[in-house]
Amino acid sequence: MFDPRIEVFSTCPPSSGDDPRAYAEHVVQVARWSERAGCKGILVYSDNSLLDAWLVSQLIVEGTRTLCPLVAVQPVYMHPYTVAKMVTTYASLYGRRIYLNMVAGGFKNDLEALGDRTPHDRRYERLVEYTSIIRQLLSGRKPVTLAGEYHQVDKLRLSPPIPPDLFPGLFVSGSSEAGRAAARSLEAVAIEYPKPAQDATEPSNGAGGARGIRVGLITQRSEDEAWKLARDRFPEDRKGQLAPSSR
């Protein structure tokens, strides 16, 4: 089992490239394996090529006892009220906690196809505004009114209320300074891809907040076989850099 001070999340298999008839079974199989291994939750990707992350998360919740979906949330896809409603619905129906992986970016072609050409750093500004609405709705203390640059709500209230122990965990993906600043502002866990050991640095004074890293593991019968598979799957070119680590 894992060190109890560390929460480990596995990754749900992507739907693209999988046999549609076997995909649901594959998701549940991976979720149950993750739960047996002691994982806290499982990341469910979201992009234009994949099945809806919330419906895939329902398969995970119904197929496991405690595993928490970590749902990737992209502001371009849905209104913040809809995200809050999904979280409180899962809590009400299943008594299960949901984690939210707040994503400012994504594949450039996906965003442009949706008509979103917001510059990089401003996407994180939008993410902070968006996520703040979700958090205020879920806190349930009073109706939410916000006249922001990207979103406006007026006396908006969420029902049913969510039990405090099922309030969602919050992650922000991004290794840039804008991403780290957004995580600090939201008091979220900042998720980064780790650099090589020789290039890694300690967080600066005052950075604060919880941090996490995203890594992928490749296993084979021998070290040589593992390295061959890694280099075949992730060649040292632009295509290899963009290849999803879960495939």
Per-residue pLDDT tens digits for 12-24: 998 877 687 899 9
Say if residue 211's pLDDT is above 50.
yes
Q: At 172, is the pLDDT very low, low, confident or very high (cuts 50, 70, 90)?
A: very high
Nearest Cα neighbor of 102 from 4, 37, 170 is 170
Asked if pLDDT for residue 206 goes beyond 60, the answer is: no
* Chain centroid offset of residue 83 CA: 13
CATH topology of domain 9-217: TIM Barrel (3.20.20)
- In whole angstroms, what is the distance from residue 25 CA to residue 20 CA? 10
Strand ranges (DSSP E) for the chain? 9-11, 41-44, 68-73, 99-102, 144-147, 152-156, 169-173, 189-192, 211-213
Residue with tokens 């928490």: 68
Q: What is the C-alpha separation between 164 and 195, in angstroms, rounded? A: 36
User: Residues 112-139: what's their mean pLDDT?
Assistant: 93
DSSP 161: P
Q: What is the pLDDT of residue 205?
A: 41
Residue for token pair 């840039």: 176
Residue pLDDT, tens place only, 33-63: 999 999 999 999 998 989 999 999 999 999 9
For the beta sheet containing 211-213, the strands, ordered from the edge strand earlier in sequence to the opposite edge, are 9-11, 41-44, 68-73, 99-102, 169-173, 189-192, 211-213
- Tens of pLDDT, residue by residue over 182-196, are 999 999 999 887 777
Specify whether the CB–CB gap between 171 and 70 falls below 8 A.
Answer: yes
- The pLDDT value recorded for residue 247 is 43
Least reliable range by pLDDT among 94-108, 213-227, 233-247: 233-247
pLDDT at 244: 55
pLDDT of 224 above 70: yes
Alpha-carbon gap, residue 208 to 47, rounded angstroms: 30
Cis peptide before 163 (omega within 30 of 0): no
CA 217 to chain centre: 18
In the chain, where the domains are located: 9-217, 218-247
